[in-house]
Copies of this chain bind each other. A is one copy, B any other.
Amino acid sequence: MKKAAVFRLSMAHPGDLSELERLIASGRVRPTEVAAVIGKTEGNGGVNDFTRGYFTQTLMGLLSNHLGRPAERLIREIPCVLSGGTEGVMSPHYIVLCIGEHEGVPAQGPALAIGTAFSEPVPPENVGRRAHIDSVADAVRKAVAAAGIERPDVHFVQVKCPCVTVARAEAAIAAGKAPLTSDPNKSMAYARAAGAFGVALGLGEIKPDGFGDASLLSDFSIQSPRASISSGVEVESNEVIVLGNSPHWSGPLRIAYRPMGDALDIGAVVDVLSDLGIAAAPQVAVRDAARIAAVLVKCEPDRRGRIRGNRHTMLDDTDINAQRHVRGAVAGLVAGVIGDGRIFVSGGAEHQGPDGGGLIAVIASQEQGRA
């Protein structure tokens, strides 16, 4: 019987993996069991955020040393999904997802299950289009199958999609291709939309003929409350991590998720904790906070310019990117409820949860005193 383990580790800078190194040295983490990494680095989260590439290079170098296999291979096998931007109270950290074998008598009830998959590389001209969506959906199906989770028991699907830079777009155009856009920020948005449609399709939430290319960034009634999509210049394939609860897995960890209606939806935060048996009145007690292994949030500056009727200024700000604004605000709320800044809050929630909102997923132990 498989057993998932989750380690939440801090970093001093994007090239600092010393905490993982220590866990490996001590035998608590076996390098062969590392299935995926999700992290929050301290860049700007935009096209020119190189903290993601720096962390990834460092991680793959470390694993390469321990596994005796080339980093170029590992990077195509172990999803490393990073979101840049630790605005406000967020603390740079990464979550190491491990798949091991259960020793001893398995615990009863379903437990956290993990599945991963990689798609083929997505050419620049496909980014944000149907071929991109299908590519994500296929990878999601593969990851679900690998994990052995029933589709309704999938609680969170993290996808990292490639996008175009000005340089990539120029190269594609020079080669006679027609990328959707040459604007990198626009491309990141389309890539995230394609990822969300791909998750919805892969989980059977929408039908293949229920949408077209024009639905992306346009029909926001199409969404998946379990999709969390990042996009960045440092990947060429879609990388997929599926998390859910499965009776075929063992261990104390469980995952739950809730859609967030808007950036003020504190109710969703309290409810997802409640689903895992954790009270927040108003804040999670220190004892219970120790049970929390990961907090994963997607959010969005409401594109209509208002939140509950009041004008916000995120979209009109030329100085600070709107995604940085909303990440900082929603992280302030979630960290306040949990009492901990080590939370993964990622912007760009197009089609990921309700329009103007997003979603939250939490992994926690069902046992006292441990995550």
Contacts and interface: CB of A to CB of B under 8 A. Distances in A.
Contacts of A78: none
Interface in A138-154: none
Given A328-B87, A340-B310, A341-B307, A48 B317 contact: yes
Given A53-B15, A88-B328, A270-B282, A308 B339 contact: yes
Contact of A50 (B43, B165, B329): B43
A12 B47 contact: no
A75 interface: no
A280 B46 CA distance: 36
A340 to B, nearest CB: 7
A44 interface: yes
Interface stretch (A26-34, A106-114, A319-327, A360-368): A319-327
A339 B48 contact: no
Contacts of A170: 304-306
Given A321-B318, A329-B331, A312 B91 contact: yes
Interface residues of A, number: 82
Interface stretch (A124-132, A199-207, A241-249, A259-267): A259-267
B266 A184 contact: no
Interface in A247-288: 263-267, 269-270, 280-283
Given A89-B307, A264-B339, A332-B88, A313 B57 contact: no
Contact of A90 (B183, B312, B340): B312
Contacts of A331: 329, 332
A364 to B, nearest CB: 18
A330 interface: yes
Q: What number of copies of this chain does the assembly contain? A: 4
Between A44, A264, A318, the greatest number of chain B beta carbons within 10 A of the residue's beta carbon is seen for A318
Interface string A9-31: 01011110000000000000000
A119 B207 CA distance: 50
Between A86, A320, A324, A339, the greatest number of chain B beta carbons within 10 A of the residue's beta carbon is seen for A320
A95 B321 CA distance: 28
A314 interface: yes
Contacts of A337: 266, 282
Between A13, A303, A304, A313, the greatest number of chain B beta carbons within 10 A of the residue's beta carbon is seen for A313
Interface string A173-205: 000000000111100000000000000000000
Contact of A54 (B53, B91, B316): B53
A324 B330 contact: no
Contacts of A182: 303
Nearest to A88: B329
Interface in A332-357: 332-333, 335-337, 339-342
A228 B44 CA distance: 28
A179 to B, nearest CB: 13
A330 B14 CA distance: 25
A263 B15 CA distance: 27
Nearest to A71: B61
A265 to B, nearest CB: 8
Contact of A342 (B14, B310, B341): B310
Given A61-B61, A282-B270, A308-B340, A88 B15 contact: no
Nearest to A188: B318
Contacts of A282: 266-267, 269-270, 280-282, 337
8 contacts: A42-B313, A49-B318, A50-B50, A88-B312, A89-B326, A266-B283, A325-B328, A333-B336
